[in-house]
Structure 1
Amino acid sequence: MTARKAESWDAFWAEVQGAGTEVIRGVEVPIPTDVPLAMEMRLKDLESDSSEEAIREMVALLFGDTVLDQWIDAGMGLMEFKTVIAWGMAHATGTKVSFREAYDTVVAAEADEGKAPNRAARRAASKPRSASTGGRSKPTSSASTSSARTRSRA
């Protein structure tokens, strides 16, 4: 076994992660290769908070501090932004996706948001509840409602 020359943590981690860059709306950004620990700790708060401050924080953690303003200045639209965030989060969590795959995911998520409940959900919601417990009434047992089974004469 050959001893390797000692290397710094940063050099080692850059090699492991295979970090690269991508140009998005004319802005060169690092391809996220890991969810920053600060973001992981704040992810639930950031997902439910749609304030400008929360959005800026999320973009800064993924791509850098000045990127959002550069994208806004370049005319990035909302669907583009959602696609880039989906792409960045996928890469950050270790799933390498194309921009097309990220876009398709965003389109599918948007379509699901506007859908009415499916037929089974509508039926379940309209079933009466038991008066005493508020739960559904229990079905009658098959023993009291079925006919006697006939045996073959063989």
Structure 2
Amino acid sequence: MPSASRDKHFNVAAFLKSMGPSEVIDFFGIEIPVPTDTPLSYTLRAQEIQESSAEDAGNILKLLADVLGQDIADQIEELDPGIRALGALLLWAFNNASGEEMDFPAAYEKYLENEASSREQAKQDPDSSGGEPEEDEGKAAVKPLPNRSDRRAATRSGPKSEKTSH
């Protein structure tokens, strides 16, 4: 016969929600609760996005959807607030979800510092960004990958073979 304690239903999501802060921020009229945990999907998507353009608004919205929920990300997308606001919101959401309390003004300042640092790095090493620093203003420096034939040539031990067909 089952005991009374086994018949009870424990809701983990409700418990964890009750343990977290109940604060919200108003982001251009959208009330966003302070996140308290980082979903695994965020970590996986962040790794994928790191290889592409980190400042692409679509990528930021995907990460925001993982942390804040798709409904909130859809509302934010409709507003089209700008890359700096989105980047600061993502930084704020991720830090809070990771357990590091951060208010939005601090996240915005940190975002601006990161942006300035990326710009300065691009100025010091223009070849790492794939172009002149002026062309890549505001973008993260990304080192281009070698093309397919260069990668194959690097793995070959001898000289390139001559074409067999004319």
Question: What residue is the counterpart of 2:14 in the other structure?
Answer: 11
Deviates more, 1:24-33 or 1:54-63: 54-63
Identity across matched positions, percent: 24
Distance 1:96 1:44, change over 3 A: same
Divergent runs of 4+, >4 A? none
Q: Distance in 1 between matches of 2:91 and 2:29?
A: 19
Q: Which residue in the other structure is 1:108 paired with?
A: 113
Post-superposition offset of 1:35: 0.7
Gaps in structure 1 of 5+ consecutive residues: 118-154
Select the residue among 67, 76, 96 that pairs with 1:62: 67
Which residue, 25, 29, 42 being the options, matches 2:28? 25
Aligned residues: 114
Query: What amino acid sits opposite 2:27 in the alignment?
Result: I
Q: Amino acid of the residue matched to residue 17 of structure 1?
A: G
Deviation at 1:69, TM superposition (A): 3.6
- In structure 2, stretches of 5+ residues that fail to align are 1-7, 125-166
TM-score, structure 1 length as denominator? 0.61
* RMSD of equivalent CA atoms: 2.6
Cα displacement (A) at 1:75: 4.3
Q: Is the 8 A contact 2:34 2:93 kept in 1?
A: yes
Match of 2:102 in 1: 97
> 1:59 is aligned with what amino acid?
L
1:32 deviation in Å? 1.2
